[in-house]
Amino acid sequence: MKNILLVCSSGLSTNMFVSKLEKSAKLLNFNANIWSCNSVNFKEDVCKADVILLAPQVKYLFDDIKKIVDDDKYILLIGLSDYSCMNSKKILEDVISYLQ
């Protein structure tokens, strides 16, 4: 099982996006624990994750997160169109492709 963290700015739409990611993971037979956190409280959560998804509005955190986590952790910057359309299947396919 892979631990996947979605980091966003305030979490308003994030719970809905996490739900879509969980549904897509089931469809893709990808065993994952998916959760979210906001841009203020991310430091502890990123250390627990195998994969870190950054929403477009928090892409500025990339370098800060890279300094905190091991090099083997995958950090994916979600594109604006994929995020706004909640294209969870494509995002998980990108994650799975990287992990293989």
Q: Catalytic residues, which ones?
A: 8
Distances (CA, A) of 67 to 19, 33, 34, 63, 91: 29, 23, 22, 6, 23
- Tokens representing 6 are 């979605």
Distance from C-alpha of 18 to C-alpha of 66, rounded to nearest angstrom: 22
Distance from C-alpha of 64 to C-alpha of 21, rounded to nearest angstrom: 25
